[in-house]
A and B are shown apart, each in its own frame.
Chain A
Amino acid sequence: MEILWVILFPLCGGIVMALFGKHRLAPELNSAMSLLTLISAGVLTWRVIEHGSFTALDEEFFVDAFNVFLVALTAFVGFTTSLFSRPYMRIEQHHGKLSANMLRLYYSMYQLFCFTMLLALLTNNMGILWVAMEAATLTTVLLVSLYRTPASLEAAWKYFILCGVGIAQALFGTILLYFAAERLLGANGTALLWTHLNQVKGQLEPTVLSLAFVFLLVGYGTKVGLAPLHNWLPDAHAEGPTPVSAVLSGLLLNVALYAVVRSKVLVDGALGTHFAGNLMMGFGLLSVVMAAFFLSRQKDVKRMFAYSSIEHMGLMTFAFGMGGAVATFAALLHMTVHCLTKSAIFFAVGHAAQKSGSQIMEQIRGLIKTSPTVGWGLSLGTLAILGMPPFGVFTSEFLILVTTMHTYPWITPVLLLALGVAFAAIFSRMQVMVFGETTGQRLPHPPALVPTFVHLGLVLMLGVYVPPYLAQWYHQAAALIG
Chain B
Amino acid sequence: MTHIPFTGQLINMCASLLLLIAFAMLSQRRVLSLVHLFAMQGLILAFSTTVVAYSSHQSHLYFSAGLTLVLKGIILPVILHKLVRRLDILWDVETLFNIPTIMLVGLALVVFAFNLAAPISHMAGTITRSTLGVAMASVLLSFLMMITRSKAVPQVVGFLAMENGLFFAATSATYGMPMVVELGIALDVLIAMFILGIFFFQIRVAFDSLDLKHMEQLKDD
A–B proximity contact (CB within 8 A): yes
Residues of A within 8 A of B (CB): 60, 125, 127-128, 130-131, 134-135, 138, 141-142, 145, 148-151, 153-158, 160-161, 164-165, 168, 171-172, 174-176, 178-179, 182-183, 187-189, 191-192, 205, 207-208, 211, 234-235, 238-239, 294, 297-298
Q: Is the CB of B220 within 8 A of A294?
A: yes
Q: Give the contacting residue for A165; candidates B146, B181, B191; CB below 8 A.
A: B146
**Interface residue? B218 (CB, 8 A):** yes
Q: B182-202, CB under 8 A of A: which get 1 and which 0?
A: 001101100110011011001
Q: Is the CB of A151 within 8 A of B217?
A: yes
**Interface residue? B139 (CB, 8 A):** yes
Q: Is the CB of B217 within 8 A of A154?
A: yes
A171–B174 Cα gap in the complex (Å)?
13
Task: With CB as the reference atom, state the residue of chain B lying closest to A133.
Answer: B188
**Interface residue? B58 (CB, 8 A):** yes
Residues of B within 8 A of A (CB): 58, 116, 119-120, 123-125, 132, 136, 139, 143, 146, 152, 155, 159, 162-163, 166, 169-170, 173-175, 177-181, 184-185, 187-188, 191-192, 195-196, 198-199, 202-203, 205-207, 214-218, 220
Q: Give the contacting residue for B175; candidates A158, A187, A192, A297; CB below 8 A.
A: A187
Q: Tell me how far the C-beta of B11 lies from the nearest C-beta in chain A, rounded to whole angstroms.
A: 16
Majority SS of interface residues in chain B?
A: helix
A179–B132 Cα gap in the complex (Å)?
10
Q: Is the CB of A161 within 8 A of B159?
A: yes
**Given known contacts A188-B178, A239-B218, what 16 new A-B pairs fall within 8 Å (CB)?**
A127-B177, A134-B192, A138-B192, A148-B205, A151-B218, A153-B199, A157-B203, A157-B215, A161-B155, A172-B166, A175-B177, A179-B132, A179-B173, A183-B123, A294-B220, A297-B220
Q: Is the CB of B178 within 8 A of A141?
A: no
Q: Tell me how far the C-beta of B185 lies from the nearest C-beta in chain A, rounded to whole angstroms.
A: 6
Q: Is the CB of B169 within 8 A of A178?
A: no
Find chain A residues with CB under 8 A from B170 CB: 175, 178
Q: Tell me how far the C-beta of A255 lies from the nearest C-beta in chain B, rounded to whole angstroms.
A: 16
Q: Tell me how far the C-beta of A172 lies from the nearest C-beta in chain B, rounded to whole angstroms.
A: 6
Find chain A residues with CB under 8 A from B191 CB: 135, 138
Q: Is the CB of A138 within 8 A of B181?
A: no
Sort A-B residue pairs by CB-CB distance and give the 4 closest, nearest first. Answer: A127-B181, A131-B184, A154-B215, A189-B178
Q: Tell me how far the C-beta of A144 lies from the nearest C-beta in chain B, rounded to whole angstroms.
A: 11
Given A127-B181, A168-B162, residue A182 in contact with residue B202 (CB < 8 A): no
Some 8 contacts from A to B, beta carbons below 8 A apart, are A125-B181, A155-B218, A157-B199, A175-B174, A176-B120, A178-B177, A182-B125, A189-B180
Given A161-B155, A171-B166, A179-B124, residue A153 in contact with residue B179 (CB < 8 A): no
Q: Tell me how far the C-beta of A224 lies from the nearest C-beta in chain B, rounded to whole angstroms.
A: 19
Find chain A residues with CB under 8 A from B173 CB: 175, 179
Q: Give the contacting residue for B215; candidates A158, A164, A191, A234; CB below 8 A.
A: A158
Q: Is the CB of A183 within 8 A of B125?
A: yes
Q: Is the CB of A211 within 8 A of B181?
A: no
Task: With CB as the reference atom, state the residue of chain B lying closest to A127.
Answer: B181
A436–B220 Cα gap in the complex (Å)?
27
Q: Is the CB of A172 within 8 A of B203?
A: no
Find chain B residues with CB under 8 A from A298 CB: 220
A297–B219 Cα gap in the complex (Å)?
11
Q: Is the CB of A175 within 8 A of B218?
A: no
Q: Is the CB of B178 within 8 A of A125?
A: yes
Task: With CB as the reference atom, state the residue of chain A lying closest to B120.
Answer: A208
Q: Is the CB of B218 within 8 A of A172?
A: no
Q: Is the CB of B218 within 8 A of A192?
A: no
Q: Tell me how far the C-beta of B67 lies from the nearest C-beta in chain A, rounded to whole angstroms.
A: 15
Q: Is the CB of B174 within 8 A of A178?
A: yes
Q: Is the CB of B58 within 8 A of A161?
A: no
Find chain A residues with CB under 8 A from B139 CB: 168, 172
Given A168-B166, A172-B169, residue A128 in contact with residue B220 (CB < 8 A): no
Q: Tell me how far the C-beta of A58 lies from the nearest C-beta in chain B, rounded to whole angstroms.
A: 11
Find chain B residues with CB under 8 A from A150 CB: 206-207, 214-215, 217
A128–B187 Cα gap in the complex (Å)?
12
Given A161-B146, A164-B192, residue A207 in contact with residue B120 (CB < 8 A): yes
Find chain B residues with CB under 8 A from A235 CB: 218
A142–B198 Cα gap in the complex (Å)?
9
Find chain B residues with CB under 8 A from A130 CB: 181, 184-185
Q: Is the CB of A160 within 8 A of B178?
A: no
A208–B206 Cα gap in the complex (Å)?
45
